[in-house]
Each structure stands twice: as structure tokens, then as C-alpha cells.
């Protein structure tokens, strides 16, 4: 049974960057988060239809950050080149391109990216991941040694169907490896902006193990990653496989944080409300002092922040982003203009709100000049502050 703990109000499609003419048709939904008592899963109350989010114009490109390119390259080296691998949600091939097209298969619902991996030579299934697709893949390619997914499984509402399909496609000793932002990371960072349409769930190891187990799989190893503000890389195999200490350790830690208890999330919701007040106060003060405030990175996360906190062009002049597909458009819901960093990240900027706070190290390194001339960043993670 789902019990609601957080209401983030009326929200648009987080990656639905749009032109002025499209504003009249913009789609909105109510974003509420709940705790499922049976499985301990933190999940949305109502899910948004996949076709509205993952279509032929999907804007997020995994390879726009050096950190992520390096992250996937490093991880790919731990996988033997003898293994065959299937990736669910292969995006622009940022992970898969580290493998030979002879050994790797892509599954991707967004047409623009499915075409890219197909053109790169990978057998690509332009489709959402489900049991019928898994059956088709086995028929055409045989069972797989590894199923990999990065920032994808938490995007799919029906986890039982996802895991059943993985169980079908894996060979007897196969491994399912997937990474997503962790619930522990979100609670520790107060990063409530991890919640948006594309993230119907934020995973704890406890919840994942409960749901995997009712589908013939179990968590056998957990790696805690720094990326995206704290993620977990989960290794799952068939029930009965050897379980690494990291699984017990992570579950214990999650219990210490109270991730198996509803009251923890009620507390979190109070902190979210406070964070909204603090962020609005800082931005309003900057404007009152006639300072130029922009936002750095047109992220899905900042869609949640701007819409929940009612931050529009009155408080943020514009957003800079390196993604060509986002430039020249408006941010979803609050309609803040997005331009390239070359055009907008210049010496007229006094404050930059970190929409891409998860890449703070990469950004500070890159923007040394801005920092040296006294430019400041604003963040809400873990507390609202100017740095």
C-alpha cells in the first residue's frame, strides 16, 4: 500500500524543452511521492505515460559530461570482452561504444538515440523494455551474459515486468548490472530534485532486493558510486547465488538512515519545504541587489526545482547548457531561455545556480576563470548556500 509523503505540485515533462509556440500545448501532471509499505519502495503516486517522455526528440545526452564518459569507460574495462552484453536504455551509446558491436546489443525507446547506436553498428531494438521484447531478443540473439542499464531502471514504472524480462534474457549464470541514483544519496543531500516524471522510483537496496526476489533474482553485490550525487551499482543474479558482504552492509546502513520507515520521509518532506523557502530568499535577494543570476545546466532536476519553487525568468535571466538540442528553447514549465555557455557564461554573470550540481567538481575546474574573478555559484545541495 502506497502512503504519500511529498507533494511537489504541478510539474511539466522534465526534459520537455520547448519553443514559445509550443507553450499552449504543454503537458502538466501532479508530482507526488509515496512509500510502499510492502516493499519499502519510494515511488510516485501516479506515473506519467512513457511515450510523453521518451520519444524521438529526447533531449538528454549521456556523453555531454566528461565525468560520465570517463565513468562508463572505466567500468567497461571490468567486463571481459568474451561476454555478450545487452544494454537497456543505451541513450547515445556513451557506455556501449566501449564494446564491439559484435558483442553488444542496444535497447532504446527514444528514436533519435536508437538511430545513433544503429548507425554506430550496434544491433538496436527501438523499443521499451518488456517481456515480449526479451523473448524476441532471445529468439534472434540467444541468451545474454550481462544485462546492463545505467540511469534507466528507475525510469520504468512496472518493476516486476522489467525484472521478469531480465530474468528471461539472462543465461543461467548471467548478471544483471544496473546503476541509478540512490535513496540514501537523496536523503543525505536533500536532493529532492532527483524526483521528476522520469524517475518514478528512487531505489534503496532493501526495496530492490524485495522486488527482485519475487521475480527470481536477488541483489548479490552493491557498489556505492559518487556519480549523480550518489548512486548504487547493483549486481543481481538468480536466487541462490553467493551474496557479497556489501549487500548486508548497505542494507544495514539504510536501516540506520531509516529508509525502511515512513516517518523518515515525512521528515524529509519538511526539509524540502524549508529548502524551497531558502532558495527563493537567496534568489530574491540577489535580484534586489541588481545582480545577474543565471542557471548552469538545463537539467531534469532543475525542472523540478524551478516549478516547485516557482522560479522563472523574474529570478533567473537564462540557463546555459552545452547540449545543442536544448539551446534556443525554453525550460519546461517556467520558460526560462536556454543558451549556449559560449553565449551566456561570460563576465556579466554574478551568480550561477548549479542546475547540474552533480557535476560540481567538473564545473568548478572548467570555470576557474569565473571563480577567480569572484563569480559565485548557488546550490541547494545539501543546504541552500552561495559558494
Q: Where on the chain is the footprint of ligand DWN (CB under 6 A)? A: 60, 64-65, 151, 198, 228, 297-301, 321-323, 326, 356, 358-359, 362-363, 366
Number of Cβ within 10 Å of residue 29's Cβ equals 16
| Residue closer to ligand DWN (CB basis): 113 or 251 | 113
Provide the minimum distance between the beta carbon of 147 and ligand DWN in the complex, in angstroms, as a whole number.
18
Contact 191, 234 (CB under 8 A): no
Contact 85, 99 (CB under 8 A): yes
Q: Hey, what's the cell of 376?
A: 559565485
Provide the minimum distance between the beta carbon of 25 and ligand DWN in the complex, in angstroms, as a whole number.
22
| Residue closer to ligand DWN (CB basis): 48 or 170 | 48
Spatial separation of the C-alpha atoms in residues 167 and 110, rounded to whole Å = 24
Provide the minimum distance between the beta carbon of 96 and ligand DWN in the complex, in angstroms, as a whole number.
15
Q: Pick from 185, 132, 114, 119: which is nearest to 154 by CA?
A: 185
| Residue closer to ligand DWN (CB basis): 39 or 65 | 65
Q: Give the strand order in the sheet containing 170-181.
A: 123-125, 104-107, 85-88, 144-150, 170-181, 231-238, 217-225
- DSSP secondary structure letters along 135-150: HHHHHHH--EEEEEEE
Provide the minimum distance between the beta carbon of 289 and ligand DWN in the complex, in angstroms, as a whole number.
26
| Residue closer to ligand DWN (CB basis): 175 or 299 | 299
| Residue closer to ligand DWN (CB basis): 103 or 376 | 376
Exposure on the CB side of residue 169, measured as CA atoms within 13 A: 31
Q: Point out the residue whose Cβ comes nearest to ligand DWN.
A: 297
Provide the minimum distance between the beta carbon of 67 and ligand DWN in the complex, in angstroms, as a whole number.
7
Q: Give the strand order in the sheet containing 351-354.
A: 338-339, 319-320, 293-296, 351-354, 376-379, 385-386
Q: Which residue has the cell 568548478?
A: 364
| Residue closer to ligand DWN (CB basis): 65 or 124 | 65
Spatial separation of the C-alpha atoms in residues 368 and 315, rounded to whole Å = 25
| Residue closer to ligand DWN (CB basis): 222 or 352 | 352
| Residue closer to ligand DWN (CB basis): 155 or 276 | 155
What are the C-alpha distances in Å from 226 to residues 93, 188, 364, 379? 21, 13, 16, 18
Spatial separation of the C-alpha atoms in residues 259 and 206, rounded to whole Å = 8
Provide the minimum distance between the beta carbon of 48 and ligand DWN in the complex, in angstroms, as a whole number.
12
Provide the minimum distance between the beta carbon of 38 and ligand DWN in the complex, in angstroms, as a whole number.
26
Provide the minimum distance between the beta carbon of 264 and ligand DWN in the complex, in angstroms, as a whole number.
23
| Residue closer to ligand DWN (CB basis): 138 or 360 | 360
First-to-last CA distance in the chain?
Answer: 42
The dihedral over CA atoms of 234, 237, 239, 240, expressed in degrees to the nearest 10, equals: -110
Provide the minimum distance between the beta carbon of 300 and ligand DWN in the complex, in angstroms, as a whole number.
4
Amino acid at each position: 500500500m502506497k502512503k504519500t509523503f511529498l507533494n511537489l505540485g504541478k510539474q511539466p515533462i522534465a526534459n520537455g524543452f520547448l519553443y514559445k509556440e509550443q507553450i499552449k500545448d504543454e503537458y502538466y501532471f501532479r508530482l507526488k511521492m509515496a512509500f510502499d509499505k510492502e516493499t519499502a519502495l519510494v515511488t510516485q503516486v501516479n506515473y506519467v505515460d512513457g511515450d510523453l517522455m521518451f520519444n524521438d526528440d529526447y533531449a538528454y545526452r549521456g556523453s555531454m559530461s566528461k565525468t560520465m564518459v570517463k565513468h562508463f569507460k572505466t567500468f567497461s574495462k571490468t567486463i571481459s570482452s568474451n561476454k555478450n552484453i545487452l544494454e537497456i536504455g543505451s541513450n547515445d551509446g556513451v557506455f556501449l561504444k566501449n564494446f564491439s558491436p559484435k558483442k553488444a546489443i542496444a535497447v532504446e525507446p527514444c528514436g533519435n538515440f536508437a538511430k545513433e547506436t544503429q548507425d554506430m553498428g550496434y544491433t538496436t531494438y527501438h523499443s521499451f523494455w518488456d517481456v515480449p521484447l526479451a523473448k524476441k531478443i532471445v529468439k534472434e540473439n540467444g541468451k545474454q551474459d550481462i544485462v546492463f542499464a545505467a540511469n534507466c531502471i528507475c525510469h520504468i514504472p512496472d518493476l516486476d515486468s522489467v525484472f521478469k524480462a531480465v530474468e528471461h534474457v539472462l543465461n543461467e549464470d548471467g548478471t544483471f548490472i544496473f546503476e541509478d541514483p540512490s535513496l540514501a544519496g537523496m536523503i543525505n543531500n536533500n536532493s529532492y530534485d532527483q524526483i521528476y516524471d522520469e524517475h518514478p522510483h528512487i531505489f534503496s537496496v532493501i526495496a530492490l532486493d524485495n522486488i527482485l526476489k519475487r521475480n527470481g533474482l536477488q541483489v548479490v553485490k552493491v557498489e556505492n558510486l559518487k556519480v549523480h550525487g550518489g548512486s548504487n551499482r547493483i549486481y543481481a543474479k538468480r536466487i541462490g547465488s553467493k551474496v557479497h558482504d556489501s549487500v548486508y552492509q548497505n542494507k544495514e546502513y539504510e536501516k540506520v538512515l531509516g529508509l525502511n520507515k515512513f516517518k523518515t520521509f515525512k521528515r524529509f518532506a519538511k526539509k524540502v519545504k524549508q529548502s524551497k523557502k531558502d532558495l527563493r530568499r537567496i534568489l530574491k535577494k540577489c535580484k534586489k541587489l541588481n545582480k545577474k543570476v543565471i542557471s548552469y545546466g538545463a537539467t531534469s532536476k532543475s525542472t523540478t526545482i524551478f516549478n516547485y519553487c516557482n522560479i522563472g525568468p523574474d529570478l533567473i535571466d537564462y540557463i546555459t547548457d552545452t547540449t545543442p538540442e536544448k539551446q534556443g528553447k525554453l525550460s519546461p514549465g517556467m520558460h526560462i531561455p536556454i543558451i549556449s555557455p559560449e553565449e551566456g557564461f561570460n563576465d556579466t554573470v554574478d551568480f550561477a545556480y548549479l542546475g547540474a550540481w552533480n557535476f560540481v567538481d567538473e564545473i568548478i575546474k572548467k570555470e576557474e576563470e569565473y571563480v577567480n574573478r569572484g563569480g559565485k555559484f548557488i546550490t541547494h545541495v545539501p543546504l541552500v548556500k552561495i559558494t
